[in-house]
Amino acid sequence: MKNRLRELRAARRWSQTDLADRLDVSWQTVYAIETGRYDPSLPLAFKIAALFGEPIEGLFFPDEDTDRNRNP
């Protein structure tokens, strides 16, 4: 899943550790989400959305390859 997490974090001049502290997760989790290696749980996605004041669908987007596999 693609996301805007890195962009929004950088706009606030937060490090991955800063964001991780705000979300009560490890910086490795933030890194994994930003790079698309890990999709956050729904509760964590809601927490991220609330922190940035954005709707979830404004932060996370399906990968084009994944979307194509679901809609042949």
Instruction: Provide the residue ranges of all domains of the chain, joining segments of one domain with +.
Output: 2-70
State the pLDDT at residue 67: 45
pTM: 0.84
How far are the Cα atoms of 20, 66, 72 from residue 42, in angstroms, in the given order? 16, 18, 26
Its CATH architecture, for the domain 2-70, is: Orthogonal Bundle (1.10)
Beta carbons of 26 and 32 less than 8 angstroms apart:
no
pLDDT band of 64, cuts 50, 70, 90: confident
